[in-house]
A and B are shown apart, each in its own frame.
Chain A
């Protein structure tokens, strides 16, 4: 009985991702709120701020098209928060020690955790897009553009999940992860999420939005909805998301090594 083969890493990732998905499904608040809240905000903004489209230089005549990118970003932030809190609970409750006593590899833990975020990213992106189309938005880049939009949204969601994973591993507490949430939202509000950069009157706000990477993530999604195929906007959005993934995965791996000091 002692001659057990060590489980292979893909199998470990599969098991841990399955657990992460179960976590999401079994906590309705983790599914309903992150999906419903951004859609409610979309409905409110697109009706209340429609007059903004009359400003000279506004990129579209329908604010819904302009605002459709925002739920994807908010969903990504919620996914980061929820995934991070789940991992922090594992640390606080000692479940990480249980996992550390198995042959599980560190990268498998991170990948499994992110598997849950990926699942949530796909589901929520599909819902946002479907609802957006049902209530009157269109995708200027067509069907292919819709597929690229989904891919970009899931990539962005994954990037923020990597950030959430790093924060959880570093802080080791659910409260600390929650403490980061307002910061994420400040980043969203100080971007071009609600207003095009060229129409922001306040210099400091326009400056911050220009340096805020979230602006380029939003604009990448928005370009597919409003403009059609904009190679530069897409390259910037995918590039920033990829950089975030690389940076926060590396930081997560480092944070896990310092937390899991098993020999």
Chain B
């Protein structure tokens, strides 16, 4: 599976001073051209993993190869193959968008004759042409993210690391960035390693998802397979007459086990088989003469997966200590 666009990780550990293991023995593989979603709450170990895979931090144990190169021994070769947009957009507030592109192109060794055209092309693609000669300090959050991504792509990397690229973006900017990431993978064949704490983002974008919690990967697979592993669809019914709850429950009982209600006054049943039973459920409610005010089918979410694997909901799991210790400790391990 190892090729010049793949990522292979085995037993990767990153330990900080005081024995804190931000990453604790993870294994994962990402194939060329795949979008891999690395999902987890704040402090789970996502950003530390990205820093190790992008050579900014050496691993404490285990191995990782990116684009066929060992991250611990062939850092320069890894860096030449990858583009990276880190969690905090790092721009120089005193440089314009165009100057950022020229500086990055020069440092990346893009031939002088191509620097201007390649930079302008990316500025155009990311809708920054009009703002190209303005200092980045005047850019909005969305524009800063787009410039950051454009800079990551300037040298034509085969693998792109995006660390929480849509955090803090409005819906429109987020959707536009999703479209661009999907296009990069589908049209250019770029491998994308994307960390996120947004369930929807992983669900929409990723071919496969790895769920990390407290430095350990607790689940991995396609979003559909992961959801199928841990849960089945739930049907939720709210009878028009609140006194008909018992009759509603009885009508739904043959289709699965009752679960905690999602909405007050509703009856929720986890279906024994899949969503195919929906027509039968409607017929059973009709036979039981239950007038229905609301009926909904809920597919399991990645949060259900996270809940099943960790016993906690992803939504609240982030209120924990930060994953990367303060700066001076970085050099210790």
Interface positions of A (Cβ within 8 A of B)? 1-2, 4-7, 11-12, 15, 19, 22-23, 26-27, 90, 93-95, 97-104, 172, 258-259, 261-263
B109 touches A19 (CB 8 A): no
**Contacting residues, chain A, for B168 (C-beta < 8 A):** none
Within the complex, the shortest CB–CB distance from B101 to chain A, in Å, comes to: 12
Within the complex, the shortest CB–CB distance from A124 to chain B, in Å, comes to: 20
In the A-B complex, list the 8 residue pairs whose CB atoms are closest, starting with the nearest.
Answer: A1-B156, A94-B90, A263-B75, A102-B107, A7-B109, A4-B109, A15-B106, A98-B90
Partner of B327, one of A15, A93, A98, A172: A172
**Contacting residues, chain B, for A97 (C-beta < 8 A):** 56, 86, 90
A94 touches B80 (CB 8 A): no
**Contacting residues, chain B, for A22 (C-beta < 8 A):** 94-95, 99
B331 touches A7 (CB 8 A): no
A4 touches B108 (CB 8 A): yes
**Contacting residues, chain B, for A7 (C-beta < 8 A):** 106-109
Within the complex, the shortest CB–CB distance from B64 to chain A, in Å, comes to: 10
Write the chain A residue with the least CB distance to B106: A15
**Contacting residues, chain A, for B78 (C-beta < 8 A):** 263
A2 touches B81 (CB 8 A): yes
Q: Is B97 an interface residue (CB 8 A)?
A: no
A1 touches B56 (CB 8 A): no
Complex Cα gap A7–B92 (Å) = 21
| Chain B 68-93 residues near chain A, CB threshold 8 A | 71-76, 78-82, 84, 86, 88-92
Complex Cα gap A97–B89 (Å) = 11
**Contacting residues, chain A, for B151 (C-beta < 8 A):** 98
Within the complex, the shortest CB–CB distance from A260 to chain B, in Å, comes to: 8
**Given contacts A2-B81, A5-B109, is CB(A263)–CB(B90) below 8 Å?**
no
Interface centre among B57, B103, B111 (most CB of A within 10 A): B103
**Given contacts A97-B56, A261-B57, A261-B331, is CB(A19)–CB(B107) below 8 Å?**
no
**Contacting residues, chain A, for B111 (C-beta < 8 A):** 4-5
Interface positions of B (Cβ within 8 A of A)? 4, 54-58, 71-76, 78-82, 84, 86, 88-92, 94-95, 99, 103-104, 106-111, 135, 151, 155-158, 327-328, 330-331
Within the complex, the shortest CB–CB distance from B245 to chain A, in Å, comes to: 55
Within the complex, the shortest CB–CB distance from B175 to chain A, in Å, comes to: 26
Within the complex, the shortest CB–CB distance from B188 to chain A, in Å, comes to: 10
Complex Cα gap A229–B322 (Å) = 62
Write the chain B residue with the least CB distance to A90: B92
**Contacting residues, chain A, for B104 (C-beta < 8 A):** 98, 102
Write the chain A residue with the least CB distance to B51: A97
**Given contacts A7-B107, A22-B99, is CB(A103)–CB(B94) below 8 Å?**
no
**Contacting residues, chain A, for B4 (C-beta < 8 A):** 2
Within the complex, the shortest CB–CB distance from B264 to chain A, in Å, comes to: 46
B75 touches A262 (CB 8 A): yes
**Contacting residues, chain B, for A93 (C-beta < 8 A):** 88, 90
Write the chain B residue with the least CB distance to A98: B90
Within the complex, the shortest CB–CB distance from B26 to chain A, in Å, comes to: 18
**Contacting residues, chain B, for A101 (C-beta < 8 A):** 54-56, 79, 82, 84
B92 touches A19 (CB 8 A): yes
- A sample of 10 cross-chain residue pairs with beta-carbon separation below 8 angstroms, ordered by A number, consists of A4-B108, A6-B80, A7-B109, A19-B92, A102-B108, A103-B108, A259-B331, A262-B56, A263-B73, A263-B75
Write the chain B residue with the least CB distance to A27: B94
A103 touches B79 (CB 8 A): yes
A261 touches B58 (CB 8 A): yes
A2 touches B76 (CB 8 A): no
Complex Cα gap A22–B4 (Å) = 38
Write the chain B residue with the least CB distance to A86: B94
B107 touches A4 (CB 8 A): no
**Contacting residues, chain A, for B92 (C-beta < 8 A):** 19, 90, 95
Write the chain B residue with the least CB distance to A93: B90
Write the chain A residue with the least CB distance to B56: A262
Complex Cα gap A95–B90 (Å) = 5
Write the chain A residue with the least CB distance to B76: A103
Complex Cα gap A91–B328 (Å) = 12
**Contacting residues, chain B, for A23 (C-beta < 8 A):** 94
**Given contacts A5-B109, A172-B327, A259-B331, is CB(A94)–CB(B55) below 8 Å?**
no
B81 touches A15 (CB 8 A): no
Complex Cα gap A93–B94 (Å) = 13
**Contacting residues, chain B, for A95 (C-beta < 8 A):** 90-92
Partner of A103, one of B58, B103, B109, B327: B109
Partner of B55, one of A19, A172, A258, A262: A262
Partner of A19, one of B71, B89, B95: B95
Within the complex, the shortest CB–CB distance from B301 to chain A, in Å, comes to: 32
**Given contacts A1-B155, A4-B80, A103-B108, is CB(A263)–CB(B103) below 8 Å?**
no
B103 touches A15 (CB 8 A): yes
**Given contacts A172-B327, A261-B331, A263-B71, is CB(A102)–CB(B79) below 8 Å?**
yes
Within the complex, the shortest CB–CB distance from B142 to chain A, in Å, comes to: 18
